[in-house]
Chain A
Amino acid sequence: MQIHVATKVNGDETEFLCDPEETLLDVLRDRLGLTGAKEGCGTGDCGACSITVDGRLICACLMLGAEAQGREIATIEGMAAGEALHPLQQKFLDHAALQCGICTPGILVAAKNLLEKNPDPTETEVRYWLAGNLCRCTGYDKIVRAVMDAAAEMRGA
């Protein structure tokens, strides 16, 4: 039997029905049309489906849709304020911190969560925080630089 879930996604009250087996990632992508979170592994090893739930960074593939009842979910689709990109998004563009772009939404969500907790991370802290976000194109160099640069700009702002 399907389960009725009422939740909040990127600030919007949202309701959906899902099967008990469906992950939150399945629900976001297949039922709510939010395909920004990607499924790279389905086992929590790649971080491409990174979202936050009640402010905690998680992999949407490791949470059931049914668990979302009453929670507050934030995805990449809610990161920019309309036309205005978040500083991290802009820095990723400026630093060419993406090649194929499949890992980018997850990395941005994870990096934003880091900077909310730690506005002045060291390179090592950025690297360990993002260790669960696999990128196969960039070798991480430009990603780390973009995050550090965004952090510096946000501290100055």
Chain B
Amino acid sequence: MAFDEYDSETRIFSAVGTRPVRPDGVDKVTGRALFGADMSAPGMLTGAILRSPHAHARIKSIDTSKAEALPGVKAVVTRADFNAEADNADVLDNCMAGEKVLYDGHALAALAAINPRVAQKALRLIEVDYEVLPHVTDVDAAMAPDAPVLRAEGGNESVPEGLSKNVMSMCEFGHGDLDKGFAEADLVIEKSFKTAAAHQGYIEPHACLASLGADGRGELWVCTQGHFVVRNICADLLGMDSTQLRVVASEIGGGFGGKTTVFLEPVALALSRKASRPVKMVMSRSEVFRATGPTSSTSMDIKIGMTKDGRMTAGLAVNRFQGGAYPGAPVDMGAMCSFACYNLENVKSVGYDVICNRPKQAAYRAPGSPMAAFAVESVVDMLCQELGLDPVEVRIKNASREGTKASYGPRWPRIGLEETLEAAKAHAHYKAPLGPNQGRGVSCGFWFNHGGETSVSLALSQDGTVALSVGTPDIGGSRASMCLMAAEELGIPYDKVRTTVVDTASLGYNDVSHGSRVTYASGLATIKAARDAKQKLCARAAKIWGIDPDAVTWEDGMAKPSGHNAGDHDPLPFSKLCATMGRTGGPISGHFEATPEGAGVSFATHLVDAEVDPETGATKVVRYTVIQDAGKAIHPAYVEGQFQGGAVQGIGWALNEEYIYGEDGRLQNAGFLDYRIPVASDLPMIDTEIVEVPNPGHPYGVRGVGETSIVPPLAAIANAVSRAAGVRMTELPMSPPRILAALDAQDG
């Protein structure tokens, strides 16, 4: 009996690949779905946080007495109210500052009051004595030897001599002989690039409702991408046993990586513990921008050599990423992604992790890869322009493919880059004529994808329906995909499966919904749990028939005798076996707990036409096409949705989105008015083409699709704009003043 077969190449799917209505759909179109801020509790207080107005300052003293004395204030906490021995020391310091505040918006005290108005009034009564220190917010400035230093201890042993103490670590990847490679080239181009920090821009601000009693037992309702991680970190920061805290994941209004850690949650729990009442905390939009986890801003130098016929001979990337006030910028991933699309004999990519006076960065959709791709793919485009070569042909010629060695080490298994490039070449978009002031940009992109620790439980009910419990919050329709995979595997209708994201007390540990892992890992776990259940169902059928369990097979949603020797028995359908399970041995559930390692990497190729107004520098995206390898699209509508959403976030990052800091080190655009994410009227339809090159590491061939889609747009748009404007744009965002200045500089 083949319960563990990999059959994605030959399998004819029935449920998988269809587009049913998502199970949480009606709740979400009627306003019934409950998100982070939508939950209340009897006796609930409102929490609020005092934040630093300074980019860098020593906290000499905090006097909370006047705030505590204000009628209606029930608890005030500072750093002293948290676990001094916490393992997650940087996370704690980010949630509640200790000796120093390290960025504008850094939390340093919090309180709970009977309503938001009293809470805000009380915040103004907290007196803080600061010793303001010099600050730095730019990555290159932070690396300079004379830069203000955030941490006296400096970086680790990987950092070369002579760099600022703000450089936390250095990494390097590659192989071959760069000098030899550049010598073989007919043209070598070297160029420097910068990208601004972008924010994930989820529309739902962080929110939670905490209740922690004097007995040390707690409940937490929170919008998060990973409630098990929230549980573990909060337990650590509060000094409690993790299983005494039960965390429930609310519906989540967007995350994109930004809700993979904690900000408010430990503070709400500490306030609740002190006040002995439930405490609700909701960030304002300004707090979201100032004090959650935007992505790194970067500075990069790229050097690539190419022969006249378009063969890349060598590539060098130097990546400098600031990750805010704590180590951990995704520069290692950026450096690994720099040349991932290309088969290079001689390649090197270096990364520097730099701290400065900005909020601690958090993951943002393929962390590090979009910036790395922007720089490398821009230089590839420049080489194509100067050598008069077709940018898609050049990429096909140099593309990574099965068996070639990745720039960061491994040999590629079966991958789909070439297929996306061939699809681009054949696409009507690539052949369409361009209008005046328009340019066409091409870029490829890569993301690793992730497996991660995963637990799933699949319980059968007597009426032949299935309750599937997963622990990965649904951030974009994944419950529909889980239902499809369970239905597919069990041979039952889609609507006979209900998938629930259950709380931390109801299932084994699950990593965060990140790394494009949910449809891959929770999907794999769902399939394996279903196979576990089928095995049990077959055993029940064997018992009923009085034959050996190995003589029963599962087909078309029924247990059947396997072959002539098994005897002549009428097949037992799923519903019948469920109805009788109480009499045949008791309840049946399928389980899966493991860390799947076979997440297949995903590649994409994007095409974009942009039009630049030469008098104002305004850019209009005229046409956009996303072509990406999904391995196997479980619910194609939501795969397309990931493609489109990632592309548009990339468009925003390329054209307008940026963290703007003033000379005083304070964030100047902490709101949706001046942090300009794309609006509906900015955009054309986003065309998609799903390429399916099955991932051998998943039973159905699934590759994660959520992140790769944001990797190519930055470069694709930069290439389109540079070709349209006739001037190479090397700094993001390509805001109109920047484009107009570049045009003027060229004319002058």
Contacts and interface: CB of A to CB of B under 8 A. Distances in A.
Contact of B679 (A26, A75, A104, A131): A131
B746 interface: no
A133 B682 CA distance: 12
Contact of A43 (B205, B673, B683): B673
Interface string B678-697: 11110101100000000000
Contacts of A77: 30-31
A133 B204 CA distance: 13
Given A95-B637, A108-B29, A139-B683, A38 B673 contact: no
A144 B680 CA distance: 8
Given A36-B32, A46-B672, A141-B685, A100 B680 contact: no
B30 A35 contact: no
B475 to A, nearest CB: 6
Interface in A91-129: 92-96, 98-105, 108, 123-124, 126-128
A12 B30 CA distance: 17
B104 to A, nearest CB: 19
A132 B677 CA distance: 11
A60 interface: no
A52 to B, nearest CB: 14
A37 to B, nearest CB: 7
Interface in B247-289: 251-256, 282, 284-285
Nearest to B642: A99
Nearest to A132: B679
A127 B285 contact: no
Indicate the size class of the contact surface on chain A.
35 or more
B203 A136 contact: yes
A133 to B, nearest CB: 7
Contacts, number: 182
Interface stretch (B16-24, B155-163, B418-426): B16-24
Q: Which of A79, A101, A140 has the most CB of B within 10 A?
A: A101
Contacts of B285: 40-43, 45-46
Interface string A76-89: 11011000010001
29 contacts: A19-B117, A34-B31, A35-B31, A35-B34, A35-B35, A36-B32, A37-B31, A39-B282, A40-B285, A41-B672, A45-B672, A79-B31, A89-B29, A96-B22, A96-B637, A99-B476, A101-B33, A101-B253, A102-B254, A103-B253, A127-B683, A134-B672, A136-B203, A138-B641, A139-B641, A139-B645, A139-B683, A142-B640, A144-B680
Interface of B: 19, 21-22, 24-35, 37-38, 40, 116-117, 200-205, 251-256, 282, 284-285, 475-477, 635, 637-638, 640-641, 644-645, 647-649, 671-673, 677-681, 683, 685-686
Given A89-B26, A99-B638, 14 more contacts: A30-B40, A41-B672, A45-B672, A99-B254, A100-B255, A101-B28, A102-B35, A102-B204, A108-B29, A128-B680, A130-B680, A131-B679, A140-B680, A141-B686
Going nearest first, the 6 A-B pairs with the smallest beta carbon separation are A36-B31, A102-B253, A139-B648, A101-B28, A96-B637, A139-B644
